[in-house]
């Protein structure tokens, strides 16, 4: 096996990095995940994840974790309502959603980010996850890398995998290809203890999802098992809108004042989001990488997930593509079909970039549709067509 006697470092403990570590660990590889979070109890932001049969679930199954996943996923969390700006429900599948289950290619079970990370961490040996390890830089050392962290520690690895997300600090060691702005900016808001702090919206979401959209703007809600209501506000903007908007995103009142103006024609009950103090607010400009990106493979370094192919979240593909990367990289690394690491990594990266390009193109089409002036009709037409098959 190509990794015999090699030390492997995975930088970043997201779903892709942890799944890859699990797969390699089970083959006896000397692998460690270096994660910036202080410990495993750090709260996981973001909405629930829906895993797809041919990517996310396939990787979880290959890692021997499907039964653990079944204990942690949230049946029914994929139920959905579509509403207009006045809160009128125009589509609701809560009562007549088709019954699907594992083994059905169309089944997309939902799981919260925290429980998914917990089950992946539990599958790893304790010493294989190194916490409080915020990456700062790497230097070539022999045939591998000397990796430095903010806490002052350095480690050596023969082979490094960047799994450090959309703002990867390691990507620059592989390629100088820059991301492209999608034309959409978003604001992620988490309302904690939402049953108490946003009761009307919590009841409307009803442990599922709500898509509220009209005239090019979107409010996407999802409930989490811990009682958090996650909202993604999306709208078309200039690339530097977040820094030039004049909004203080650390100040709830500042964001609320902007929201009242920007969504002035929307039902005022949407403003319930901002009524209590138990919220977090994170602005997120939406970027993607060029569809034709490629780079020269290296024998001791590669990347997976958002570090390699970030994209907007509107098609729900981010985590699934990261998990697909993990499985495909693992399969290449344990294969006897390649004589060198560079050959194996080149094969993996070419296949990954092709797959990610196709998914990114679909994602951008959906992102544009979601923020088209006629977005409500386009989404309803999409579901109407889907239900015919």
> Is 355 annotated for ligand binding?
no
d(CA 40, CA 117): 9
Q: Give Cβ neighbours of residue 70 (< 8 Å, ≥ 6 apart).
A: 102
Token pair in block for residue 13: 């403990």
**pTM for this entry:** 0.95
> Is 113 annotated for ligand binding?
yes
Give the tens place of pLDDT for each residue, 90-148: 999 877 666 678 888 888 999 999 999 999 999 999 999 999 999 999 999 999 999 99
193-211 mean pLDDT? 96
- C-beta separation of 165 from 35 below 8 A: no
Start-to-end CA span in the chain (Å):
45
* Segment holding 367, helix H or strand E: helix 341-370
In this structure, what DSSP letter does residue 98 have?
Answer: P
> Is 43 annotated for ligand binding?
yes
Residue 1, pLDDT score = 87
Say which CATH topology domain 182-287 has.
D-Amino Acid Oxidase; Chain A, domain 2 (3.30.9)
What are the domain boundaries of the chain?
Answer: 7-74+110-178+290-367, 182-287
Give the tens place of pLDDT for each residue, 30-65: 999 999 999 988 877 778 999 999 999 999 999 999
- C-beta separation of 230 from 188 below 8 A: yes
What is the assigned CATH class of domain 7-74+110-178+290-367? alpha beta
> Is 101 annotated for ligand binding?
no
Give the tens place of pLDDT for each residue, 264-289: 999 999 999 999 999 999 999 999 99
Q: How many helices (H) and strands (E) does the chain have?
A: 12, 17
Q: Where are the beta strands (DSSP E) in 201-359?
A: 209-214, 217-223, 229-236, 279-288, 301-303
Highest mean pLDDT among 312-316, 350-354, 380-384: 350-354
């Amino acid at each position: 096996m190509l990794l015999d006697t090699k030390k492997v470092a995975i930088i970043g403990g997201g779903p892709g990095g942890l799944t890859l570590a699990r797969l390699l660990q089970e083959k006896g590889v000397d692998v460690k995940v270096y994660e910036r979070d202080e410990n495993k109890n750090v709260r996981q932001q973001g909405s629930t994840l829906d895993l797809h049969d041919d990517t996310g679930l396939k990787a979880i199954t290959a890692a021997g974790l499907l039964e653990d996943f079944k204990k942690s996923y949230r049946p029914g969390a994929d139920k959905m309502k579509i509403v207009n700006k006045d809160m009128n429900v125009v589509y609701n599948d809560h009562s007549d959603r088709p019954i699907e289950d594992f083994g059905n290619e169309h089944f997309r079970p939902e799981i919260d980010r925290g429980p998914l990370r917990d089950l992946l961490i539990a599958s790893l040996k304790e010493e294989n996850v190194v916490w409080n390890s915020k990456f700062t830089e790497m230097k070539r050392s022999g045939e591998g890398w000397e990796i430095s962290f903010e806490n002052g520690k350095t480690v050596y690895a023969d082979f490094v995998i960047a799994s450090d997300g959309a703002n990867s600090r390691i990507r620059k060691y592989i390629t100088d290809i820059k991301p492209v702005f999608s034309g959409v900016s978003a604001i992620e808001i988490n309302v904690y203890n939402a049953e108490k702090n946003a009761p009307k919206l919590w009841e409307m979401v009803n442990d599922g999802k709500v898509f509220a959209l009209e005239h090019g703007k979107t409010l996407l809600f999802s409930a989490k098992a811990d009682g958090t209501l996650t909202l993604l506000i999306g709208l078309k903007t200039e690339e530097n809108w977040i820094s030039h908007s004049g909004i203080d995103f650390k100040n709830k009142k500042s964001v609320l004042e902007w929201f009242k103006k920007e969504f002035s024609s929307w039902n005022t009950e949407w403003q319930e989001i901002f009524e209590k103090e138990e919220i977090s607010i994170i602005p997120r400009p939406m970027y993607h990488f060029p569809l034709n990106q490629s780079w020269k493979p290296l024998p001791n370094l590669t990347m997976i997930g958002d570090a390699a192919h970030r994209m907007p979240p509107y098609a729900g593909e981010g985590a699934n593509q990261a998990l697909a990367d993990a499985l495909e990289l693992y399969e290449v690394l344990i294969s006897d079909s390649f004589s060198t690491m560079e050959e194996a990594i080149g094969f993996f990266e070419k296949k990954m970039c092709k797959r990610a390009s196709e998914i990114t193109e679909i994602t951008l089409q959906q992102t544009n549709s979601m923020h088209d002036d006629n977005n409500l009709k386009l989404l309803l037409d999409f579901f109407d067509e889907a239900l015919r098959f």
